[in-house]
Structure formats: structure tokens, C-alpha cells
Amino acid sequence: MKIYNSLKREKEEFVPLRDNEVRMYVCGITAYDYCHIGHARSAVVFDVLVRYLRDKGYKVIFVRNFTDIDDKIINRAHKENLPWDEVARKYIEAFYEDMDRLNILRADIEPKATEHIEEMIELTQKLIDMGFAYVTSRGDVYFRVRKFKTYGELSGRNIEELQAGARIEPGEEKEDPLDFALWKSAKPGEPKWPSPWGEGRPGWHLECSAMSEKYLGLPFDIHGGGQDLIFPHHENEKAQSEAAYSTSFVRYWVHNGFVQVNSEKMSKSLGNFVTIRDILNNYHPEVLRFFLLTKHYRSPLDYNLESVEEAEKGLKRIYQAVEELEAILSNKKWKKVKVDSSLIEEIKEQQDKFFLSLEDDLNTAKAIGYLFNTVRIVNRIATDKNLRKAEPMKDVLVEIREFLTRAGKILGVLNLAPAVFLEELKDIQLKRKNIAREEVEALIAKRQDARKNKDFALADSLREQLVALGIEVKDTPAGPVWEVVS
RNA sequence: GGCGGCAUAGCCAAGUGGUAAGGCAGCGGUCUGCAAAACCGCCAUUCUCCGGUUCAAAUCCGGAUGCCGCCUCCA
């Protein structure tokens, strides 16, 4: 497949270093708050990448870390009046809750920074010994940025540009404002670990260098994260790792685009942070997941209610087609008739194009288009009285079912039985509109009575009442069926 | 100020040289007591604007305008 490499700034053919094995590292969360929609996008994007690579037959070793010691966690601990490690534990647990609901697979290895202090100290010592780092009088250790010649290569900046923005904070003893911390000496009351340079804690960038080397070795194939991590986090990781191990660090750097909220940057100051759990109060987790995949992973994505509800309608359309497909397949009496082979070719074409889209830099938005084309074909068969019972269609329909299952497994949607999803969706829509199921069912029962009595005027007025509530009733041979509409 | 990205129908969105996927909404039809779903048909001679390259450009180049991100913690 082709994948966009942030380092080269172009799409490249993806070839793993070792035959059939893909080694991949994605920066996980700093556990100091609930996860927001941006975390969800990053998690979903790399989850789909892992799933797709596995579908292609690669053995993927996937590492996603937890930053469980950091300034932000310490600050949060003060605010919540909790021990810092309790804060980390609490938000890691919340992370799992949210990610499980979004159907994000667990990484193969999920290392925590605090469990790798030893490795980080070793790495820091190595950099000091090599002259890439230095210790200050108060026990901080800094990386000597100017000594690392290709610094800025990943983020596309040069030292002079960076110089302008860099500052030395009061009390810091940097040789150069560009230098960044590998080890921070502990202030009174802060969490700390013993080290050759005194008690302190590791700098943020260090953990990913230490843990990726430990679990994957260098160089490894894919390093992922949000676009904002390119600078300084990934630039610094790269500098540390390449300086210490004298080899290239990562072969393909993959970064996902940002999520905006109502066309604005999501930020604490604007107060527009949208957490995953907030969204899942009002929308089905698969809907959120599907929404996140309707735009290419590198483009900015605007989160707004209209777009999510559009995704909801789209996913519902696919599920309804799957339900219909299964209904046709449950038929036992197939008729021996000839069918037009062009239809069969059209179906195959959609499948091929679906996979070709993913081959091209994981274009899920495009791939989903072919899913909808497949849905239209299924519905076309379903509405044709002859086709839906035609013997030659049977194998074709089974194949479509298998295709949709496989596609769903890659995208991490269509994971539920259609009837289950549609009921769950209905519940969450009713909740959103604050309508009780019983209320709807009572009105429908009343309308059925009226219809039996051929009192169509009453039946129609009851229908109008339901429509006013946002409920649409459809009359089927098996009785009335209702849906919530926006 | 420096670096980078993006501008496609009412809305969302794919499309990196060969003549505009898909979804939502809308309109007409089939079906229906009515309606909904579904299906069929319609819905961008045109891709922010101005130049250029080419037989051919939404796609490449130059310029303009607008929006956004990064440069400080951030997925």
C-alpha cells in the first residue's frame, strides 16, 4: 500500500523492514483528563491502519504507550486533590472505557513511562557519555540540540527559525535555548526517582525513545500520532534515538489531522473541548467511529452535530441493507432463472475499488463511497421480485455479505447484528429527543385500531402527532414499524 | 514575522494530467388507503479568482484573495 510519510512529505510505497512483520508505535495519551474527540480520531485512524495491515496478512506488533508521569498530571493532582499516580490510574481507566466503546483494539504492548524509569536513565546516561547531553548544577539533564546535525528534518524547520521562538525559563541552566530536558530534577513535594544526577523524573520525549527501542528495536516501521506531535515531540524523540543508537529511528512517520469543533480550534481557553463520553451520551459509538472515517485521515475534520447526524443516517442505511440482505438469504426457495451478469461484475468492481482506496494512503472516505454503492446494489436486488429469489444470485449475495463483514472488520464498524444496532440506535435517538418508547407505542397502537376500523382520518391525525414528535411510521405487511427521524 | 496546509453543487465529501465517486437535503416517478423505506430518474459544461505550461488541468507552474494549523502544553 501507499502511505504518506511526514518525513519525506510524500506518499511512499509501504514495505516493512522485515518480511511480513510490521512494527508500529503510536503515542498514547498523557493521563490527566478524559479523552476528547481528537484522541478518538487518532485512536480510530491507527486502529484502522493496524486492522488493515493485519487484513493484508502482516503480523503487526503494535505498541501504544501511556504517559503516566508529567507536569500536567502533577498539576491535575493538585486540582483534584489526589495523589499524582491516582490521577494517572483514573484517566487510564477512563481511556479504556472510552476506547472499548469505540471498538479500538488493545495494543499488543501498552507500556507506561513510570515502569521504564530504568531504561530512560540508561538512555540519558548514554547520551551524556556521547556528548549529546549535559548535566546542570541543579541536576537537570538537557539534550544538546545543535550537536544533532539533522535536527529539524522531520518538522521541516531549521535551527535559526527555531532559535527565534526558543526561550530559557528563569532558573534553567541551558547552554542553548533550543535544548530540551531529558531529566528534570524534582522540586519539593514532586514525584521523584533516584538517578545518577539526583532525584527527579524523566522528560516527556524520552519515554517514547526508550520504550520504542526496548519493544521494537531500531529502526522500526511506523510511528504515528497527531499532527501536533511532529514538533517538538517527534522531532525530539528522533534526535534522542538517532543520536543514542547511531541508526535511523523510524521508517514511516504517519500523522493524523486535527479535529475542529464547529469550525473552531478545540482548546481549553475557548471552552469547547468535547469529550468522547459526552458524545456517546447522544450518539451511538459506531456512529462516532463511522463519522471519523468519512474524511481522509490527514485532512482537518470539523465536528458538528449536522455532520454526525449525517453519518448516523449513512451507517443506518448500510445496516438496513445488511438486514435486508440477510432476510433474502434466509429464503430457502430459490428459482432457477438466468440473471444479467453485468450486475455481478458491478458488485465485484465495488469490492476491488474499496480495497484499492485503502491501498492509497488509507482513504477510508473514498472506500466508504464504494460501500454505499454496494448497498444500492443490494437494495436493487431486494426490490426486484425475481432477482431476490434467483438461484444464481445466492452465491453472489453470500459474497456480498462476506465482503461487508470484512470491510466492517477493517473499519471497525458493522460489528453488531443489524437488528441489535437498529434498536440501540432507536434508543439513543429517543433519549436525545427525550421521548419515551411507551409513548410512541401507545400512539401506534391507537392508530392501528383506527386503521382496522377504516377510520383513516383518525389514523392520519395520529400519524401527524407522531411526525410532530419526530417519529415516522411505516406500514408493512407484518404490521407497523417506526423510526426516529431528525 | 517564519514554516506548512486547504479552497470541489444548498451542506458534507472523494478525486494529483484525460474530461467531476459517494452521502445528506431537494425535485419528478414506481410502490402505498395516506405515508415512510427502498428502487428508477433529475440535481456542479464545472472545481475561489487571474495568468501560464500542455493535444488535454479541479489536478502541474506563477500570482491574488480567503480560511486554517504549527512555531508554547496539546491527538
Average pLDDT over residues A14-20: 95
Average pLDDT over residues A320-334: 93
Provide, in whole angstroms, the distance separating residue A330's CA from nucleotide B53's C1': 60
Average pLDDT, chain A: 93
What are the backbone angles phi and psi of residue A286, rounded to the nearest 5°? -70, -30
pLDDT at position A360 over 90: yes
What does the pLDDT look like over A238-266, one tens digit per residue? 999 999 999 999 999 999 999 998 888 88
CA closest to B21 C1', residue: A369
SS3 A119: helix
What are the start-end ranges of the H helices in A154-203?
159-165
* pLDDT tens, residue by residue, A420-479: 999 999 999 999 999 999 999 999 999 999 998 999 999 999 998 998 889 999 888 888
d(CA A70, CA A100): 25
Distances (CA, A) of A61 to A50, A66, A237: 9, 17, 20
User: For strand B, is any atom closer than 7 Å to the CB of A296?
Assistant: yes
Confirm whether any atom of chain B, the nucleic acid strand, is less than 7 Å from CB of A465. Answer: no
A233 touches strand B (CB under 7 A): yes
Distance CA A125, CA A122 (A): 5
Query: Which of A158-162, A314-318, A387-391 shows the lowest per-residue confidence on average (mean pLDDT)?
Result: A158-162
pLDDT at A177 over 80: yes
Give the residue from A250, A207, A282, A240 showing the smallest Cα distance to A433. A282
A250-256 and A220-226 strand pairing? parallel
- Within window 312-331 on A, which residues have Cβ closer than 7 Å to strand B? 313-314, 317, 320
Closest nucleotide C1' to the C-alpha of A177:
B72
Compute the distance between CA of residue A436 and CA of residue A55 in angstroms, rounded to an integer: 42
Instruction: Determine the distance between A298 (CA) and B18 (C1') in angstroms.
Output: 27
**Cell output for A52:** 488493515
DSSP letter, residue A273: -
State residue A93's pLDDT score: 97
Other C-beta atoms within 10 Å of A268: how many? 8
Gap from A309 CA to B23 C1', in Å? 11
Residue A8 has pLDDT above 90, yes or no: no
Per-residue cell: A452: 382496522
Q: Grade residue A164 by pLDDT with cuts at 50, 70 and 90.
A: low
A339 touches strand B (CB under 7 A): no
Instruction: Give the nucleotide with minimal C1' distance to the Cα of A4.
Output: B16
The answer to whether A381 CB sits below 7 Å from nucleic acid chain B is no
- How far apart CA A212 and CA A30 sit, in angstroms, is 17
Q: Which amino acid is at A150?
A: T
Helices A117-129 and A235-245, axial angle in degrees (round to 10): 70
Indicate if the pLDDT at residue A109 is higher than 70.
yes
- Residue A448 contacts strand B, CB under 7 A: no
Residue A486 has pLDDT above 80, yes or no: no
Is the pLDDT at A170 greater than 90? The verdict is no
What pairing do the DSSP bridges indicate for beta strands A259-261 and A250-256? Answer: unpaired
Burial of A275 (0-12, 13-18, 19+ CB in 10 A): middle
Q: What φ, ψ does residue A181 adopt, rounded to 5°?
A: -80, 135
What's residue A53's pLDDT? 97
Among candidates A249, A247, A201, which has minimal Cα distance to A23? A249
A145-164 burial, b at 16+ Cβ within 10 Å, e below that, comes to bebbeebbebbebeeeebee
Closest alpha carbon to A215 in A65, A52, A93: A65
Residues 100-159 of A with CB within 7 A of strand B = 155-157
- In this predicted structure, what is the pLDDT of residue A458? 92
Q: Which nucleotides of B are covered by protein (CB under 7 A)?
A: 1-6, 11-16, 21-25, 32-40, 68-75
Peptide bond into A83 cis (omega under 30): no
CA of A72 to C1' of B73 (A): 8
| Strand B reaches within 7 A of the A451 CB | yes
Q: What is the pLDDT of residue A165?
A: 66
Nearest residue to nucleotide B40, by CA–C1' distance, is A380
Q: What pLDDT is recorded for position A255? A: 93
pLDDT tens-digit profile of A210-230?
A: 999 999 999 999 999 999 899
Q: How many angstroms is C1' of B61 away from CA of A226?
A: 31
Reply yes or no on whether the pLDDT at A378 is more than 80. yes
**Nucleotide closest to A37 measured between CA and C1':** B75
Residue A440: DSSP 8-state: H
b/e per residue A236-263 (b: at least 16 CB within 10 A) = bbbbbbbbbbeeebbbbbbbbbbbbbee
pLDDT per residue as tens digits for the range A46-80: 999 999 999 999 999 999 999 999 999 999 999 99
Q: Which nucleotide is nearest to A70 (CA to C1')?
A: B73
Quick check: A171 pLDDT over 80?
Answer: no
Distance between alpha carbon A392 and the CA centroid of its chain, in Å? 39
Q: What is the mean pLDDT of residues A395-411?
A: 96
The pLDDT tens digits of the residues spanning A70-108 come to 999 999 999 999 999 999 999 999 999 999 999 999 999
Check residues 382 to 411 of chain A and report those whose beta carbon is under 7 Å from nucleic acid strand B: 382-383
For residue A273, pLDDT over 90 is answered with no
Picking from A378, A368, A369, the residue whose alpha carbon sits closest to that of residue A347 is A378
